[in-house]
């Protein structure tokens, strides 16, 4: 291997116009390869004493929840371009792992994702978009690792309790069915399965899950637990030999780069199975760069998974813009390749799961860190980060202050790496725009020192990858269309005979699940509708509302008219609404304010200032019953609103002072079946 590397080096050197240190100016080549520099830290990279832990990859989460909701609505070629930046090897983030939410019908941060089993006798493996996303990831990288994890569960599993462990056999069957459905209907092999995101684990359930997986011939599927804190799962494993045996990976969330003694004593793989969740600007990029190195150095974590994959949900929902990139405008085609994409590339494009960390990794003397990995075949990748405290604060946990200053670092390659003649160099500089570079390829380092030494000058907020691999690439496409607000006039009649996805474009369910529906016995105008399909509250992960609701549109909408045909299916107690200026969603949906126009099957109507119905602006009686179509219209203009039923004024000039703007929405009074058709919004700019 060394001989082939040497020959390749000679060929490239013959073509080079300048040596690595020959270019003037740090922005062009931020390397000083002269051994005469002022003394600094000295670091040895050696495999003589063996290797460290096996590297399992870098990944991201789609879900937890509904974080990829708007991505599916992008038109080509933009949707494929976004997917390439995420998954295509040697192009962008080139992710090794995709972790998806097993939809459970409940609110899981920014929306709900539909379950494959809404009801006990119901199975449908084409709902939602995670199946599609996993297939698109596999299409680009057949070796990508797939992970599934529930946040919420359909209500029938709880048998009246908000608890998934009432019948552990039934819950295990539900999860195993999802794994089997992935294979049977989509030819997807799920590699890892989790327990219950950031909630209580049940030891008996974990053992039952392993037993049922094995019974179905799924011995290859590994279990991660508990996707929460390091404890009490680590101590529980040390006290229970059977539990220790069935868990393959201990996954912790937002560990702050540190693990605990008990976790290490289990001798299991340790993962940061959810991390980051930080705005994808330069600070978020610095956060990501720092933890990708230091999760292993400080905590021996061999995988780090970002929440979330792509910020493809309405920006004003919780944790807006916290994806590796941003794609929240399918109506315009606009997307943004954010800095965390290129931070990822520094590791992902030059390593693969199955490589090993060197034991000789650690912190730099004047701040920052370095790791090195090898494939055991002569290739070596070194990643060096010098992220400052200011430019690397993650949203959680608290980051104690530390200092990073300019320094000179000398690295010595020993052991099987001592004969490496040349290292390719990729460089990122965060901070001031005038000095900013993202994943820039520099001239290679020629290791001329007979002792395998080379020296770097390092400043704060830099990231270097030095590697024997020559396959790295900063992928690009022509700029996407310019950003545009949501169309002020929007219509959807839901007349889709064979929908590719179960949800209508741009609607973002916040409680409940709204799906395309065909009225088989209605040959008329309302044969194709949008239907709220949950008749039972799910086992929740967050504080779902008591009502179902799906939002749509521009959060800045203030003056608008919303019109929709509605159909109450529940006799006597059923109810539906249309709404405008809805100001909250996601995990805050229970406290959403807005203007809500309700009609009920008992012949009443109501106008409220909140989804909970506590703030009543107006109410009255009206000729309404279940099992009949009605057309509702709500107009909000300034501080007043009015509404019509079937084109006739029902109430006018009702005063509303708050909020001043928000989304449009549709929904139901409770978890009940109801249908919506011919939705239309006309907003005034």
The span from the first CA to the last CA of the chain, in angstroms, equals 65
Is residue 243 within 8 A of residue 210, CB to CB? The reply is no
Residue appearing with tokens 């200092």 = 403
Neighbours of 390 (CB within 10 A): 14
Rounded Cα gap, residues 87 and 94, in angstroms: 5
**Helix residue ranges per DSSP H, 141-200:** 168-186
Q: Please report the beta strands in 178-242, taking only residues with DSSP state E, as ranges in sequence order.
A: 192-193, 222-228
530 - beta bridge partners? 516, 676
Rounded Cα gap, residues 512 and 537, in angstroms: 8
Is residue 319 within 8 A of residue 277, CB to CB? The reply is yes
The one catalytic residue in 113, 130, 274, 385 is 274
Tokens of 104: 């459970």
* Residue 374 Cα distances to 50, 241, 378, 527, angstroms: 11, 33, 7, 60
Sign of CA dihedral 112, 116, 122, 124: positive
| Cα angle for residues 478, 132, 304 (degrees, 5° grid) | 80
Residue appearing with tokens 């813009």 = 321
* Residue 248 Cα distances to 213, 224, 237, 254, 297, angstroms: 14, 6, 11, 20, 21
> Based on C-alpha coordinates, what's the Rg of the chain?
28
Tokens of 399: 């980051």
Rounded Cα gap, residues 50 and 56, in angstroms: 18
Question: SS3 of 287, please?
Answer: helix
Rounded Cα gap, residues 244 and 662, in angstroms: 49
The one catalytic residue in 123, 198, 336, 556 is 198
Tell me if residue 198 is catalytic.
Answer: yes
- The contacts found for 649-656 with CB under 8 angstroms, 24 or more apart, are 650/605, 650/620, 650/622, 651/605, 651/607, 651/618, 651/620, 654/607, 654/617, 654/618, 655/617, 656/581, 656/595, 656/609, 656/617
Cis amide linkage into residue 29, ω under 30° from 0: no
Tokens of 221: 């599927």
Rounded Cα gap, residues 51 and 302, in angstroms: 13
320: burial class by Cβ within 10 Å (0-12, 13-18, 19+)? middle
Could you give the residue numbers annotated as active site?
198, 274
């Amino acid at each position: 291997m060394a001989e082939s590397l040497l020959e390749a080096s000679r060929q490239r050197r013959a073509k080079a116009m300048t040596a690595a240190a020959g270019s003037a100016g740090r922005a062009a080549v931020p390397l000083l390869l002269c051994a005469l520099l002022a003394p600094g830290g000295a670091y040895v990279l050696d495999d003589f004493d063996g290797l460290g832990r096996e590297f399992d990859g870098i990944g991201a989460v789609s879900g937890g929840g509904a974080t990829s909701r708007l991505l599916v609505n992008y038109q080509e070629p933009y949707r494929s371009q976004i997917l390439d930046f995420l998954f295509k090897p040697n192009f962008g983030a080139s992710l090794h792992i995709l972790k998806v939410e097993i939809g459970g019908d409940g609110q899981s941060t920014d929306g709900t994702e539909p379950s494959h089993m809404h009801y006990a006798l119901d199975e449908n493996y084409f709902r939602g978009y995670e199946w599609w996303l996993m297939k698109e990831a596999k299409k680009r990288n057949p070796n990508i690792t797939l992970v599934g994890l529930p946040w919420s569960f359909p209500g029938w599993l709880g048998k009246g309790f908000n608890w998934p462990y009432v019948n552990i056999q039934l819950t295990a069957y539900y999860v195993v069915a999802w794994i089997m459905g992935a294979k049977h209907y989509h030819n997807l092999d799920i590699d890892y399965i989790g327990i219950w995101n950031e909630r209580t684990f049940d030891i008996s359930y974990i053992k039952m899950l392993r037993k049922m997986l094995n019974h179905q011939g799924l011995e290859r599927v590994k279990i991660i637990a508990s996707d929460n804190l390091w404890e009490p799962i680590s101590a529980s494993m040390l006290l229970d030999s059977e539990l220790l045996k069935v868990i393959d990976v201990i996954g912790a969330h937002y560990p702050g780069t540190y693990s605990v003694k008990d976790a290490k004593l289990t001798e299991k793989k340790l993962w940061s199975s959810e991390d980051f969740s930080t705005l994808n600007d330069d600070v978020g990029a610095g956060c990501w760069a720092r933890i990708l190195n230091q999760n292993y150095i400080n905590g021996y974590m061999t995988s780090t998974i970002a929440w979330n994959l792509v910020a493809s949900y309405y920006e004003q929902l919780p944790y807006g813009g916290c994806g590796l990139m941003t794609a929240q405008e399918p109506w315009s085609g606009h997307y943004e390749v954010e800095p965390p994409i290129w931070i990822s590339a520094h590791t992902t494009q030059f390593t693969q799961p199955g490589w090993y960390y060197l034991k000789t990794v650690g912190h730099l003397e004047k701040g920052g860190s370095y790791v090195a990995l090898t494939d055991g075949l002569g290739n070596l990748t070194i990643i060096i980060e010098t992220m400052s405290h200011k430019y690397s604060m993650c949203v959680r946990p608290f980051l104690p202050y530390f200092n990073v200053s300019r320094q000179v670092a000398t690295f010595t390659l020993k052991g099987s790496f001592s004969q490496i003649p040349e290292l390719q160099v990729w460089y990122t500089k965060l901070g001031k725009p005038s000095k900013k570079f993202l994943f820039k390829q520099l001239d290679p380092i020629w290791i001329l020192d007979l002792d395998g030494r080379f020296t770097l000058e390092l400043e704060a907020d830099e990231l270097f990858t030095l590697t024997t691999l020559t396959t790295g690439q900063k992928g690009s496409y022509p700029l996407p269309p310019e950003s545009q607000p949501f169309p002020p006039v929007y219509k959807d009649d839901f007349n889709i005979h064979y929908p590719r996805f179960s949800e209508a474009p741009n609607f973002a369910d916040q409680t409940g699940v709204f799906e395309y529906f065909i009225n088989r016995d209605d040959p008329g105008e309302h044969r194709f509708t949008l239907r709220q399909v949950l008749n039972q509250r799910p086992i929740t992960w967050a504080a779902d509302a008591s009502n179902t609701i799906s939002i749509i549109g521009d959060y800045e909408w203030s003056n608008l008219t919303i019109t929709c045909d509605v159909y109450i299916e529940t006799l006597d107690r059923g109810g539906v609404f249309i709404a405008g200026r809805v100001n909250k969603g996601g995990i805050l949906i229970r406290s959403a304010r807005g203007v809500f126009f309700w009609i009920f099957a008992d012949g009443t109507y109501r106008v409220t200032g909140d989804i909970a119905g506590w703030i009543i602006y107006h109410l009255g009686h009206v000729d309404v019953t279940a099992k009949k179509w009605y057309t509702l219209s709500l107009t909000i203009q300034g501080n007043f609103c009015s509404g019509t039923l079937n084109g006739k004024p029902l109430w006018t000039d009702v005063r509303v002072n708050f909020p001043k703007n928000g989304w449009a929405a549709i929904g139901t009074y409770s978890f009940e079946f109801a249908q919506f058709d011919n939705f239309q919004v006309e907003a005034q700019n």
